Amino acid sequence: MEHHHHHHNTASAQSLNGIFILSIILNVVFVLVEAGVGLWQDSLSLLSDAGHNLSDVFSLVLVLIAFRLAKVQRNERFTYGYRKSTVLISLLNAVILLVAVGAIVIESIHKFSAPTEVNGIAVSWTAGVGILINGATALLLMRGQKTDLNVRGAFLHMAADTLVSIGVVISGIVIHYTGWTIIDPIVSLIIAVVILISTWELLSDSLRLAVDGIPDGVDLKEIEQMLTAEEHVKGVHHIHVWAISTTETALTAHVVVDDFSCWPQVSEHLKHELEEHNIAHATLEPEIEDSQCHHREC
């Protein structure tokens, strides 16, 4: 069952490769266009958005690398292969975004003291293209984001970018009709806030998994209740749950039973139930209920 589950995850990752490659190409082209127009028109909102989009390109590339590393087989030094690297890459993506937020905030503060003229129409048209590209990328990633933390991170970034591009379009229109260039750094700060909000959950989830915390969506009390509800099971203890990768979860537990002869059937059924809770790698150690039994067979 474990092998089948891993094969399913690998197949899912492979099916997303083409989507990520297409998304990377689209976003690289847009970053070049947006940065060029931003430099030409001296628009901080366009340059900050281009910088964020560039960080998203790196994030997409890192996710592709994570997919590749997740397929590396176990060896003598890495008994789980390189699957944990997917968690570290997710954490790295979150850190990259936080650095981008800091850079945008610093530039925005500087822009308040030294505002410059901006061509609102050029800014709006460029950001309008961003709405199409980022929106299309988010739609492509929407299906896979429910099963992988890295894909979810990429989806959230692209969805946030779409909203950010909408904000830039609005600022461009405001500048064109009112001449309020101060709106440019204000939008940049709003962009920073949007990025920070979209990144915070990714950062907290990645940190939790990196230190072997319980993955999101796994309820430890529910797992305990499920295990103890099994026939012949009298109790469980020493339960440990952690993430092998962004898509695979492992569990170890000591299971107290009243009859060792029933253990093979009990173990098989419990592992099947755990798979239904997205835990495909389970190691269960049986213990006899009678604590007074000291015979070797016990």
Digit-coded pLDDT (tens) for 42-79:
777 678 778 777 877 887 888 888 888 878 888 888 88
The answer as to whether 164 is a domain residue is yes
Same domain (yes/no): 270, 176:
no
- Say if residue 173 is in the same domain as residue 231: no
Q: What is the pLDDT of residue 188?
A: 79
Mean pLDDT of 71-92: 86
pLDDT of residue 194: 80
Domain count across the chain = 2
| Domain assignment of residue 18, yes or no | yes
Do 231 and 101 lie in a common domain?
no
What pLDDT score does 45 carry? 67
Question: Is residue 296 a part of any domain in this protein?
Answer: no
Q: What tokens appear for 26 in the block?
A: 């689209």
- Tell me, yes or no, whether 228 and 101 share the same domain: no
Q: Are strands 249-257 and 233-243 parallel, antiparallel or unpaired?
A: antiparallel
Of 108, 114, 130, 112, the C-alpha closest to 44 is 108
Residues 33 and 163 grouped into a single domain: yes
Same domain, 200 and 256: no
Parent domain of 249: 220-288
Q: Provide the b/e sequence for 57-83 (b: ≥16 CB within 10 Å).
A: bebbebbbebbebbeeeeeeeeeebbb
Q: Do 180 and 225 share a structural domain?
A: no
Give residue 5's pLDDT band: very low, low, confident or very high (50, 70, 90): very low
User: Across residues 112-122, what is the average pLDDT?
Assistant: 72
Last residue of a domain, one of 157, 179, 210: 210
In this structure, how many other beta carbons lie within 10 angstroms of the beta carbon of residue 99?
10
Q: Residue 103 domain-assigned?
A: yes
Is 36 within the bounds of a domain? yes
Three-state secondary structure of the chain: CHHHHHHHHHHHHHHHHHHHHHHHHHHHHHHHHHHHHHHHHCCHHHHHHHHHHHHHHHHHHHHHHHHHHHCCCCCCCCCCCCCCHHHHHHHHHHHHHHHHHHHHHHHHHHHHHCCCCCCHHHHHHHHHHHHHHHHHHHHHHHCHHHCCHHHHHHHHHHHHHHHHHHHHHHHHHHHHHHCCCCHHHHHHHHHHHHHHHHHHHHHHHHHHHHCCCCCCCCCHHHHHHHHHCCCCEEEEEEEEEEECCCCCEEEEEEEEECCHHHHHHHHHHHHHHHHHCCCCEEEEEEEECCCCCCCCCC
Provide the CATH number for the domain around residue 278.
3.30.70.1350
Indicate whether 30 and 110 sit together in one domain. Answer: yes
Asked if residue 53 is part of any domain, the answer here is yes
Rounded average pLDDT over 23-49:
83
What is the sign, positive or negative, of the torsion defined by CA atoms of 6, 8, 11, 15? negative
Where residue 197 falls (left for φ over 0; alpha for ψ -120 to 50; beta otherwise) is alpha
Residue 240 scores a pLDDT above 90: yes
pLDDT at residue 182 in the model: 82
Verify that 99 and 140 share a domain, yes or no: yes
pLDDT in tens, 195-228: 788 788 888 988 999 999 988 888 889 999 999 8
Using the 3D structure, point to which of 165, 184, 210 is the last residue of a domain: 210
Q: Are residues 101 and 157 in the same domain?
A: yes
**125-167 pLDDT tens trace:** 887 888 888 888 888 888 776 667 788 778 877 887 787 778 7
What's 12's domain CATH number?
1.20.1510.10
CA 113/CA 294 separation, integer angstroms: 79
Same domain for 183 and 253?
A: no
Q: Is residue 297 part of a domain?
A: no
Res. 251: pLDDT tops 90: yes
Residue 113 sits in the same domain as residue 196:
yes
Domain finish residue from 182, 210, 238? 210
